[in-house]
Amino acid sequence: MFELSQVRCFVAVAEELHFGRAAARLNMTQPPLSRQIQILERILGVKLLQRGNRLVRLTPAGQSFLTEARLILTLTESAALLARRVAEGKAGSVNIGFTAASSYSYVPELVAACRQQLPDVELILKEMVSGDQLKRLGAGEIDIGLLRPPIPRTGLQFFRVKAEPMVAAVPAGHRLARAATIGLPDLAAEPFIMYAPYEARYFHDLLVELFSRAALAPVYIQHLAQIHSILAIVHSGVGVALVPEAAENLQFSGVALRPLADPQQRAAELYFVWRDDNDNPLLPVIAAIARNLVGGA
């Protein structure tokens, strides 16, 4: 099999049609250049060049080989450049898990920032609940998780990217919709749409703690996993709910979102998580972008 150095020598001679100029272009002398071409012709079993005293011409075989030889050199250079860019964290791909609610605000911000700063990087987004993200991180199926606590302390690195308050969601025609803020006792007195204990465990546990601390016991009439589904039921007038503030970005018609009157409520947190033994060069780069978004918030 021929070598890349022989292909480079052939392309230089074929383009210059002069051994002296080709040798100068390659920063070498003529004799080794001629030997490289002869070796290449012997390997291929064909004559690539017709040599005269003052004239060099391509044979028909040489003309055909020149097209492919240029392609080989281009692909080689592209492969080397891509390898360097991947090693530098400027190209490649990364698998990112995210919760449904995080797609209302933080995920679009992160994706937009990555596309601007890393245009050659492929972001593979996978929606899943936090528990599934932790399993996929452990199995190496995703590189980054955007998930809710609790987070195991061993084998993972993480930092918080979002802490947003919960807001009351009531039908637009409801009497509470006219209030500037809504208290927990007012919500607990209404039919309440609760989060499902597994599919939306984080929000379920958050609200249970919130009502328990206030010594309130709402009547849960539905248990749903997705925030947009909860808002749809609120819109129907069946009951009220609590949703993260980012739900405002959904602009759900027929639903009024109001701040809670309780200033001590616990915020809904979102964390950027990755395995500490993951060697994907993109991880520290994207983590830096994520941290910058937190700092600019």
Look at residue 266 in the predicted model and tell me its pLDDT: 79
CB atoms within 10 A of CB 115: 11
pLDDT in tens, 231-285: 999 999 999 999 999 999 999 999 999 999 976 677 999 999 999 999 998 999 9
The model's pTM: 0.73
Q: Do domains 4-87 and 166-266 have the same CATH topology?
A: no
CB atoms within 10 A of CB 189: 14
pLDDT in tens, 118-161: 998 899 999 999 999 999 999 999 999 999 999 998 999 999 99
CB 96 within 8 A of CB 124: yes
Look at residue 74 in the predicted model and tell me its pLDDT: 83
Domain 166-266 in this protein, CATH class: alpha beta
CB 110 within 8 A of CB 97: no
Domain 92-159+276-296 has CATH 3.40.190.10: yes
Identify which has the larger pLDDT, 221 or 90.
221
Architecture of domain 4-87: Orthogonal Bundle (1.10)
Task: Spell out the SS3 assignment of 119-171.
Answer: CCEEEEEEECCHHHHHHHHHHCCCCEEEECCCCCCCCEEEEEEEEECEEEEEE
Q: Which of 9, 77, 64 is nearest to 40 (CA)?
A: 9
With a cut of 80, say whether residue 54 has pLDDT above it. no
Residue 88, SS3 per DSSP: coil
Q: Average per-residue pLDDT in the chain?
A: 91
Q: What is the percent of the chain where pLDDT is above 70? A: 97
Indicate the domain borders of the chain: 4-87, 92-159+276-296, 166-266
Q: How far apart are CA 193 and CA 122, in angstroms?
A: 38
Q: Which of 210, 213, 165 is nearest to 192 (CA)?
A: 210
Across the strands, what pairs with 93? Answer: 122
Q: How far apart are CA 86 and CA 125, in angstroms?
A: 19
pLDDT in tens, 6-21: 989 999 999 999 888 9
Sign of the dihedral defined by the CA atoms of residues 153, 157, 159, 162, in that order = negative
Question: What single string gives the DSSP state of each residue in 179-242?
Answer: SSSB-HHHHHTSEEEEEPTTTTHHHHHHHHHHHHHTT---EEEEEES-HHHHHHHHHTTS-BEE
